[in-house]
Amino acid sequence: MNKRTRVLVVDDESIIRESLRDWLTGAGYEILTAGSGEEALRLVKQKSVKIMLADLIMPGMDGIELMKEARKIVPTISTVIITAHATVQTAITAMREGAHDYIEKPFCPERVELLLKSLLERQELIEENVSLRKRLEARRRAVDAIIARSPRMLSVLELVKTVAPSNATVLILGQSGTGKEVIARAIHRQGRRYHKPLIVTACATLPEGLLESELFGHEKGSFTGAVERTQGKFEAARGGTVFLDEIGEINAKTQIHLLRALEEKKITRIGSNEEIDVDVRVIAATSRDLKAMTESGQFREDLYYRLNVMTIELPPLRERKEDILPLAGHFLRRYAAENEKDVNGFSPELVELMLSYTWPGNVRELENMVERGVILAPGEEITLAEAPHDMAAATPQEGDTIDAVVRNHILKVLRQADGNISEAARILGIQRMTLYNKMKKYDLRADKACV
């Protein structure tokens, strides 16, 4: 129990305030005091107060009125009414109005301390339940929150839902920027280990000599700079998940230790002979061709097969065109809000470019483009003028004209929406009238799209 919980004592009698402050401070609580309801409310606004002891009868604002006002500021605050008029009716009134309990003057300090302990236990249970509900909600929304309209990504998300409840090791393949960490987090949150940590390690960013220590920990003095015993990622994630990003970058020695961790569920810190049991799920990701690396001897074949129990391959953004505009709209809303700018759309020319561009940086490049556009846009739309030069100078892919790419994309979306113009406009992230104009330009009819 956290005994440093802040408690506010409100009483117009200084001797009551000081007595409670001295006693409860000695018992380990942090005590604030106020001589009136008005002063108490100022403290509630300024400080993080969990429990309030308030005198029932005070000049001006009484204890029950104070309790009601305090709850408007901090809905979870627990209030105990102090009364010198300890009648049954007083207690009933206080409890009916929302007080958690009451104490009589003169009161026994031990009784107050026991009451605070009980209230703290109750609050901890409430907070734990709130936290659990938030985790459950995050778990439920983990996959649903991923923006996907394309058939390939929808298949990926179905596979995530299937794989997540198991304890199987998962290997996520995909180009840089395709969202491998997003998928790893969705697997963790949908799985049985969602209430335990997800520990992320970016293998490509750590020097060879430090990666092994980062993953498995080290003992004091085991190498230069090891000034104390340090826990590794596998220990920190006990019961949870370790996500190893860019697994293809780890060296041969670390590959051996990782294979042992996967096969035997045991690790050994650098500089130690003690075996440590670790119960973790491993999710790995790479943008490299691990199969080819095993054939060339760069990556252990036995480790490859141990990692490759379940494989999820993420398509590049250019192969999931149906997702480009919904993703762009999502990033637009986020960065417009973050930058407090009234930017709410893309110019038709930029939409056409986004749909024809090859996106070598994938979703990450799209996000960066939208963030840049929001910052630079002088009006309500992001235009070609705000697009990065290399993107604006790009030619349409595979010999297609921009018009052909846009026409085919609109046709696909119209079919997906069963010819419903409003639904198609929503998927495309544009206004109905804009879609009508596009359909007229490209000679498209909603009733023919589904034929």
Q: Read off the pLDDT band of 207 (50, 70, 90).
A: confident
Q: Count Cβ neighbours within 10 Å for each residue of 192-210 and write b for 16 or more, e otherwise.
A: ebbebbbbbbebbebeeee
d(C-alpha 421, C-alpha 56), whole Å: 63
Q: What is the mean pLDDT of the chain?
A: 86
Q: What is the pLDDT of residue 167?
A: 94
Weakest-pLDDT range from 105-114, 131-140, 419-428? 131-140
Q: What is the pLDDT of residue 76?
A: 84
* β strands within 125-271, DSSP E: 170-173, 198-202, 241-245, 266-268
Amino acid letter, 258: L
Weakest-pLDDT range from 94-103, 136-145, 180-189, 334-343? 136-145
Q: Is the pLDDT of residue 416 over 90?
A: no
Q: Is 202 within 8 Å of 214 (Cβ atoms)?
A: no
Residue 90: name the closest of 69, 62, 116, 114 by CA.
62
Q: Is the pLDDT of residue 115 over 90?
A: no
Between 420 and 343, residue with greater pLDDT: 343
Q: How far is CA 255 from CA 86, 215, 232, 259, 260, in A?
A: 72, 11, 16, 6, 9
Q: What is the pLDDT of residue 48?
A: 82
Q: Is the pTM above the cut of 0.75? A: no
Q: Is the pLDDT of residue 350 over 60?
A: yes
Q: What is the pLDDT of residue 398?
A: 46
pLDDT in tens, 36-86: 999 999 999 998 888 999 998 899 899 999 999 999 998 888 999 888 765
Q: Is the pLDDT of residue 449 over 60?
A: no
pLDDT in tens, 243-284: 999 999 999 999 999 999 999 999 999 888 889 999 999 999
Q: What is the pLDDT of residue 141?
A: 55
